[in-house]
Amino acid sequence: MLERTLVQSAGFRNTGEEGARSGFELRLRLPSYRGLRASLVDGVDVVVDGEEFGHEANRYLIGDAEFTLDQLREAADVRWPMDEAGVVRIARAGGLAPGVHEVTVRVRIQQSYIPIEFQPSVFVESRYATVVQP
Amino acid sequence: MSPAFKYGVSLYSFTDDFGTVMTLEDSVAAIADLGATGIEILGEGHVGGYPETSAAWIDNWFTLLDKYKLEPTNYGAWIDTRLYRTRKMTAQQGAADLARDLRLAARLGFRYVRPKIGVVSFDLVPDPIWEEAIERCLDLAHELDIVICPEIHAPTPIRHPVVESYIEFIERTKTKNFGLLIDTGIFQDRPLPYFPGETPEMRRDFLDGIKVPPKDFLAIAQYVVFIQAKFHAIDETLTDANIPWESIVPMLKQAGYSGYLSSEYEGERSPWRALEQVRRQHALIRKLEREYDARLKQEGDAK
Of the pLDDT bands very low, low, confident and very high (cuts 50, 70, 90), residue A118 is confident
Q: Tell me if residue A34 falls in helix, strand or coil.
A: coil
Q: What is the dihedral of CA B114, B116, B121, B123, to 10 degrees?
A: 50
Percent with pLDDT over 70 in chain A:
100
Alpha-carbon distance A87 to A38, whole Å?
A: 12
CATH number for the B6-302 domain, one of 3.40.50.720, 2.40.40.20, 3.90.320.10, 3.20.20.150?
3.20.20.150
Report the first-to-last Cα separation within chain A, whole angstroms. 28
In this prediction, residues A44-49 reach a mean pLDDT of: 98
A99-115: per-residue pLDDT in tens?
Answer: 999 999 999 999 999 98
**pLDDT for position B192:** 94
**pLDDT for position B1:** 60
Q: B-chain residues within 8 Å CB-CB of A116? A: 82
Domain boundaries, chain A: 13-131
Q: B-chain residues within 8 Å CB-CB of A40? A: 80, 82-83
**pLDDT for position B56:** 98
Give how far A18 is from chain B: nearest CA, Å.
33
Q: What angle do CA B202, B208, B213 make, to 5 degrees?
A: 150
**CB nearest B83 (choices: A4, A76, A116):** A76
- Catalytic residue of the set B153, B160, B232, B282: B153
Closest Cα in chain A to B122:
A115
Closest Cα in chain B to A119:
B82
**Which residues sit opposite B26 in a β-bridge?**
none
Among the listed residues B273, B190, B278, the one whose alpha carbon sits nearest the alpha carbon of residue B229: B278
Q: What is the pLDDT along chain B (303 residues), one digit of tens a residue?
A: 678 999 999 999 999 999 999 999 999 999 999 999 999 999 999 999 999 999 999 999 999 999 999 999 999 999 999 999 889 999 999 999 999 999 999 999 999 999 999 999 987 899 999 999 999 999 999 999 999 999 999 999 999 999 999 999 999 999 999 999 999 999 999 999 988 778 888 788 888 899 999 999 999 999 999 999 999 999 999 999 999 999 999 999 999 999 999 999 999 999 999 999 999 999 999 999 999 999 999 998 887
Specify whether B153 is catalytic: yes
Alpha-carbon distance A44 to B99, whole Å?
A: 32
Return the number of other C-beta atoms located less than 10 Å from residue B136's C-beta: 16
In this prediction, residues A4-20 reach a mean pLDDT of: 97
Which of the residue ranges A46-60, A111-125, B52-66 would you say has the lowest mean pLDDT?
A111-125
Residues 6 or more apart whose CB falls under 8 angstroms from that of A18 comprise A133, A134
Handedness of CA A124, B206, B166, B43 (dihedral sign): positive
Do A120 and A108 contact (CB within 8 A), yes or no? yes
Among the listed residues B65, B63, B70, B146, the one whose alpha carbon sits nearest the alpha carbon of residue B102: B146
Alpha-carbon distance B101 to A33, whole Å?
A: 17
Decide if B45 and A35 are in contact by the 8 Å CB cutoff: yes
pTM of the model: 0.96
**pLDDT for position B281:** 98
